[in-house]
Amino acid sequence: MKRLLTIAALLLVAQPSLAADKWLSIRSRNFLLAGNASESEIRRVGRTLEDFRTALAMMFPKMDQSSTVPVTVLVFKNDESLKPYKPLYQGQPSNALAFFQPGEDINYIAVTPVIGSPNIVLHEYVHFLLRENVGGLPLWITEGFAECYSTFEMGNRANEFSIGRAPEQHVAMLNQTPQFIPIKRLLSIQQNSPEYNEASKQGMFYAESWAFVHYLILGAEGKRRTQFVQLLTALTKGAPFEDSFGEAFQTDYGTLEDEVREYVRKRTNWPNMKVTSRENLQVDVRSMTTTTLSEGESEFYLGDLLLHLNRPADAEPRLTAAISKSPTLSSAQTSLALLRVRQKKYDEALALLKKAAESDSKNPMINYYYAYGLERADADALANVNAGPPERYETMRTYAKKSMELAPRFVEAYALFARINLNSGEQLDESEAALKKAISIAPGRDDLKML
């Protein structure tokens, strides 16, 4: 028992050391990056993302690469420093080399600057794009897309790039494995499935997901591409996969699986997309600006990431440390307040949010969360037959509207504004207009249509 307590104490002592590392923040044209990797490594990640973003904008001009909430890329110096902040699988950090963590107020991409492997960073960015633009897709399709498009490479000239290179590890896995994962099983794989998390199984899942998407986009001389688009369109509209599959491909699972297996077997020449632009695609890294973060700011990023991973017990010491080291840091105050709301410690939460709103009144997220905290406290009070004064709704409404004005694309503020009015029975016409605006910004958000 004494030995276990000693080990636990050592772990607690060792944990804060990561935030004590020198953390930098680098802002490129479209990304905010922060981390304890070196400046050159963080800049390289930023440049890779900017080059990729530019290439995708040229290939898919109608695709929206903007986000309704900010995207922050956290660049950890190595996997050891990232490990304590990974998603958990069966109580332990997953073996993911990087991950995308969406949120209603921020999207995090967490990576390490793996030398020679920018595809890991690009893989996570593809997940972000799919979430913003397409919904309702099976996990194997989203992972297949991410694996396929993350093979982006700039050419010898600044206006050339290619997408579609066959990853050697996937080809080897597919040729060495006697059987594919059956499509029906592939369809059922979720983020908590063994095939997605366990090292002995996930290699085949990623390889097969890549092979199917690569074949449907680039293989069969393009004959399956239009059918694949038909399938994706049906799925995003909520149609059942089995029906959509048959209508799109006019064949059964086994036939398509045989086609893909034949496609990858012993192949040495792989089709890919090579694109030449009239303009220079590469970003000038000199345009990126660098600042050194305080210890409080780095603690905030770590705590907020853990909070968004739904690891509140791990997030709390980071966030309290952030405020201890930087008492006026409004971002840390807001994040800790959100944790307190989840704990139903409303007095402390609202005090933190009020302080944050007073010091950073033009921050849309702080205004949103102040209104949200008031709404949650009110909902619990009503449940306990302890409603506050009628004017409480006007206070909530004021902060929600301010968030809407400061961030016109932030749909959560519109939804909150509508809920407040529905609860109060007031300004219902304004609520309807707000919801229509939110749905126009995020047409894939079916939950908005149910308010």
- How would you write the pLDDT of the chain (451 residues) with one tens digit per residue? 444 343 333 334 344 445 568 999 999 989 999 999 999 999 999 999 999 998 888 888 778 787 778 899 999 999 999 999 999 999 999 988 899 999 989 999 999 987 556 788 999 999 988 887 777 789 999 999 999 999 999 888 888 899 999 999 999 999 998 888 998 899 899 999 999 999 899 999 999 999 999 999 999 889 999 999 999 999 988 899 999 999 999 999 999 999 999 999 878 889 989 888 887 777 777 789 999 999 999 999 999 999 999 999 999 999 999 999 999 999 999 999 999 999 999 999 999 999 999 999 999 999 999 999 999 998 887 655 455 567 789 999 999 999 999 999 999 999 999 999 998 888 999 999 999 998 888 776 767 777 7
Beta-carbon contacts of 133 under 8 Å, excluding residues fewer than 6 positions away, are 63, 64, 444
Residue 385 is assigned to a structural domain of this protein: no
Tokens of residue 19, six digits: 């935030």
Q: What share of the chain is helix, strand, coil (3-state, %, to 5)?
A: 60, 10, 30
Q: Could you give the CA distance from residue 19 to residue 77 in angstroms, rounded to a whole number?
A: 12
Q: Is residue 99 part of a domain?
A: yes
Query: What is the sign, positive or negative, of the torsion defined by CA atoms of 392, 393, 399, 402?
Result: negative
**What CATH number did the domain enclosing 233 receive?**
1.10.390
Return the number of other C-beta atoms located less than 10 Å from residue 348's C-beta: 14
Q: Is residue 131 part of a domain?
A: yes
Domain assignment of residue 328, yes or no: no
305 in a structural domain: no
Q: What's the CA gap between 378 and 191, in Å, rounded?
A: 34
**Residues 418, 421, 427, 429, CA torsion sign:** positive
* Domain housing 108: 23-286
Task: Please state, in angstroms and as integers, the Cα–Cα distance from residue 318 to each residue in 200, 303, 339, 436, following that order.
Answer: 33, 5, 12, 39
> For residue 417, is it within any domain?
no
Whether 359 is covered by a domain: the verdict is: no
**Domain count of the chain?**
1
In a domain, 196, yes or no: yes
The whole model's pTM is what? Answer: 0.85
